[in-house]
Chains A and B, each alone.
Chain A
């Protein structure tokens, strides 16, 4: 509650662990998520008819029986929606048209007066599909022998930084050619080569995808959605319907977990398609948990072959890096994940000679999309292990090896970009110290083995070069502040951080600031997407500028009233104060009504409104053949993770004694929220590393439930989960801040694999690093019998 009089409030909140803005709503059940919005009796319920065939030609769709079922109001198929859509590569339609490309693909949809009727109607839709040979392996898919999944690839629209290879299943081939890798390998004392397979996993937000769409009387379409990207969704809906953006309005309240899967558009288009033919009735589509697992974006699988060499002193000289990304049936988003796999392909290492081929491959698997640090968990899973193998092979201390090769400010990295200052050395030191890394510790019982692993990561926001942010700051009669943004609160705490930034920049207490919600594309300022760990940095800059703009307006108003220079005025704790005259005036009322001139001779000022925008202007494209350029990305967040484990040799089960994660966040605007991201990110990384895998057999997911696809519970936690950060300021971040949301889960697969090796001397390299897999590996290696 904003209250200027009774509470002192938190002044200068940047750098302080203030309480989250949204907690009262969330602990009382009052917070509104999309499924909680009442729509009354007019509401129709949508369900989707899905393909049970991985690849095939649609020969016949008969919806007549479904249409005849009482209560069914709308039935739509691909015939009604021919437009190609997609965020980066326009390669998909709302519903399959001539062919299906994965099990779960939408073929038709029904809207009815109840979920039960809609479900029954779906069963009445008849579909004949003639099966085609399918692709279930990305490496095979990239070969000449593979059947083509998108024969029209050459005609698909995409931006100029995506490189499809028409006539193949490769929808993006990103290349790095830096230095002379072949020659450099000849100079290496040790070369290690290993192939890794990282399986498909699912994001598993506890809130399943949901969207409600309604056509207004004027023909405009309103969509309520659990969304990380209301603005890019607006654009996608417009393209799907063939109308302009202004005809679409997206309203997005709290999101019950996103992790990337609610960015871009997947099932939301179905609600829009149904609503476009429902005569103005709202249509709700809500995925079942089963559908959530495989019909939406998944984290795509990766096959990666890594060859890395170093000299006798432990200097890494060369890397050859071949990646086959299992993009699935559409790679509208996956092409950019592949690009990230390419321009990050060195990991956070200074390597002078690199050859990378990052290939996005169409397969008949579920569609790959963004998942928390997309590409980076998968890429680093391999790099962290091969670096560990190299250090061991040349007999060098692992921490020393990392520190010798870790990227530093001033280095020219894999794409030729000059690195900004990074605190990676400090991150490594902190992990090594906290974990007593150099000390081999005893296991707690004779049947257990103890081991430690360490690894480093980097990640840049993976986004178009011109992803923009904007913000508005308004002041109210009571001196409180309303901030409008288009970025989404998905649990990471961004609204809290934005309030801190606005309060600090303006000179009011944190408690005086509210963030306007829900985000509504009709009224909220533009934000590209809530992805890429970019909001604190990008939207934070916009909010800071908006608050500074408002501050400038206020100071000019008061300066005029007092006959002073604005430079001599300041705003402190909600008061404008003069450093010269020591006069002061409360923001209350003047920020709306202005200040009367002396002798009632008119008024000065008026309602205060500050505006701010931010868009990076310096990111350049990379050369198509070499992947080199001046500045590939805005910046990198780097970090180090170390894990101390015990393995039960009787079961293969891992117990994590201690996990330590340290990241360079530039500046922690809210230190406790930074730590919360790191802790939670570690557990998500641990869960995916140990337990998670979508078991895909001939394109069918065999484990689409929480019983068969297990995620970490309270019973699976490390004894200690330590989160720390260092602060090497980002030159264009607010107070030096850069993002941290995604990074904490990215090292965990590789670091755990290193710890397993340290404990039992067996390299179990491909996740999930399950007890069964570890036990069988120990058995095979003769560690146990």
Chain B
């Protein structure tokens, strides 16, 4: 097994990390960079709990190899709030009561932020579509969908 040194910008910070060839981005974030807000729910690209932004696009970080992100930009849940201010999607999910156990929440919020970045005023169908890969077993989703719509209205 080979090891590689990669340079990556994570939440605006330049990081140099030594990773093994088979290490996933998910493991690199959690184990090498101590960014444990990104969750491991299935390690198979099926539940969305590990969603992060790779150059602004949402990806399942369990399906990306760490070596692939050399020279790229990553945003995790820890990078959503700026200067101590919550992102609007974080504020509205609190207001709408869209958080229960919280395990899907980081991935859900990243998918929501990525959607609003590429489409600031999505229709309900577009919100549903953007979150369809993020499984939640607690909330029944509707409050989360409403929170993204509310965030769009306010931004």
Question: Could you list which residues of chain A lie within 8 angstroms of chain B, going by C-beta atoms?
Answer: 19-20, 22-33, 35-36, 38, 203-208, 254-259, 288-289, 490-493, 672-673, 676, 679-684, 705-707, 711-715, 717, 721
**Chain B 25-52 interface 0/1 with A at a Cβ cutoff of 8 Å (1 = within):** 0000010001111111111101101000
Interface pair A29/B77, CB less than 8 Å apart: yes
Interface pair A289/B135, CB less than 8 Å apart: no
Within 8 A of A (CB), among B97-155: 97, 99-106, 109, 127-129, 131-145
The reply on B10 being an interface residue by CB < 8 A is: no
Interface pair B41/A28, CB less than 8 Å apart: no
Please give, as numbers and ranges, the residues of chain A lying within 8 Å of B39 by CB-CB distance.
33, 35, 206-207, 256
Interface pair B100/A680, CB less than 8 Å apart: yes
Interface pair A679/B139, CB less than 8 Å apart: yes
Interface pair B101/A491, CB less than 8 Å apart: yes
The reply on B61 being an interface residue by CB < 8 A is: no
Interface pair B102/A256, CB less than 8 Å apart: yes
Question: Could you list which residues of chain B lie within 8 angstroms of chain A, going by C-beta atoms?
Answer: 30, 34-44, 46-47, 49, 76-78, 80-81, 86, 90, 93-94, 97, 99-106, 109, 127-129, 131-145
Interface centre among A203, A206, A706, A717 (most CB of B within 10 A): A206
> Residue of A at shortest CB range from B27?
A115
CB distance from B21 to the nearest CB of A (A): 12
Please give, as numbers and ranges, the residues of chain B lying within 8 Å of A205 by CB-CB distance.
101, 103, 137
Contacts A27-B93, A254-B101 known; 7 new A-B pairs at CB < 8 A: A27-B105, A29-B35, A29-B76, A206-B41, A206-B103, A257-B101, A679-B139
Q: Decide: A707 near B46, CB < 8 A? Known: A20-B99, A714-B141.
A: yes
> Residue of B at shortest CB range from A709?
B46
> Residue of A at shortest CB range from B86?
A27
> Residue of B at shortest CB range from A23?
B94
> Residue of B at shortest CB range from A36?
B36
A444 to B15 Cα, complex, angstroms: 56
Please give, as numbers and ranges, the residues of chain B lying within 8 Å of A490 by CB-CB distance.
101
The one of A26, A492, A679 that contacts B140, using a Cβ cutoff of 8 Å: A679
Instruction: Pick the 7 closest A-B CB pairs, nearest first.
Output: A29-B37, A491-B101, A256-B103, A683-B140, A26-B102, A29-B77, A491-B100
Interface pair B142/A679, CB less than 8 Å apart: yes
Interface centre among A208, A254, A255, A490 (most CB of B within 10 A): A208
A256 to B100 Cα, complex, angstroms: 9
CB distance from B66 to the nearest CB of A (A): 15
> Residue of B at shortest CB range from A28?
B81
Please give, as numbers and ranges, the residues of chain A lying within 8 Å of B101 by CB-CB distance.
205-207, 254-258, 490-491
What are 18 A-B pairs at a CB distance below 8 A?
A24-B94, A26-B102, A27-B86, A27-B93, A29-B77, A35-B39, A206-B137, A207-B41, A289-B47, A493-B100, A673-B97, A680-B138, A682-B140, A712-B140, A713-B132, A715-B128, A721-B140, A721-B142
A681 to B138 Cα, complex, angstroms: 7
Main secondary structure of the interface of B (DSSP, over half): loop
> Residue of B at shortest CB range from A258?
B101
Interface pair A706/B140, CB less than 8 Å apart: no
The one of B34, B102, B145 that contacts A714, using a Cβ cutoff of 8 Å: B145
Interface pair B142/A27, CB less than 8 Å apart: no
Please give, as numbers and ranges, the residues of chain A lying within 8 Å of B143 by CB-CB distance.
676, 679
> Residue of A at shortest CB range from B140?
A683
Q: Decide: A207 near B100, CB < 8 A? Known: A679-B140, A706-B46, A713-B135.
A: no
Interface pair B35/A289, CB less than 8 Å apart: no
A23 to B143 Cα, complex, angstroms: 14
CB distance from A592 to the nearest CB of B (A): 31
A772 to B5 Cα, complex, angstroms: 51
Please give, as numbers and ranges, the residues of chain B lying within 8 Å of A36 by CB-CB distance.
30, 36
The one of A491, A492, A672, A706 that contacts B42, using a Cβ cutoff of 8 Å: A706
Interface pair A26/B49, CB less than 8 Å apart: no
Please give, as numbers and ranges, the residues of chain A lying within 8 Å of B127 by CB-CB distance.
714
Q: Decide: A207 near B103, CB < 8 A? Known: A29-B76, A36-B36, A717-B141.
A: yes
A205 to B77 Cα, complex, angstroms: 20
Interface pair A28/B139, CB less than 8 Å apart: no
Interface centre among B30, B86, B127, B135 (most CB of A within 10 A): B135
Interface pair B128/A27, CB less than 8 Å apart: no
Please give, as numbers and ranges, the residues of chain A lying within 8 Å of B136 by CB-CB distance.
206
> Residue of A at shortest CB range from B130?
A714
CB distance from B110 to the nearest CB of A (A): 10
A673 to B36 Cα, complex, angstroms: 27
A187 to B26 Cα, complex, angstroms: 67
The one of A20, A35, A289, A683 that contacts B141, using a Cβ cutoff of 8 Å: A683
Interface pair A706/B137, CB less than 8 Å apart: no
CB distance from B127 to the nearest CB of A (A): 8
Interface pair A206/B141, CB less than 8 Å apart: no
Please give, as numbers and ranges, the residues of chain B lying within 8 Å of A29 by CB-CB distance.
35-38, 76-78, 106
A369 to B138 Cα, complex, angstroms: 19
A714 to B128 Cα, complex, angstroms: 5
Q: Decide: A717 near B142, CB < 8 A? Known: A29-B77, A31-B102, A204-B137.
A: yes
A35 to B137 Cα, complex, angstroms: 19
CB distance from B63 to the nearest CB of A (A): 13
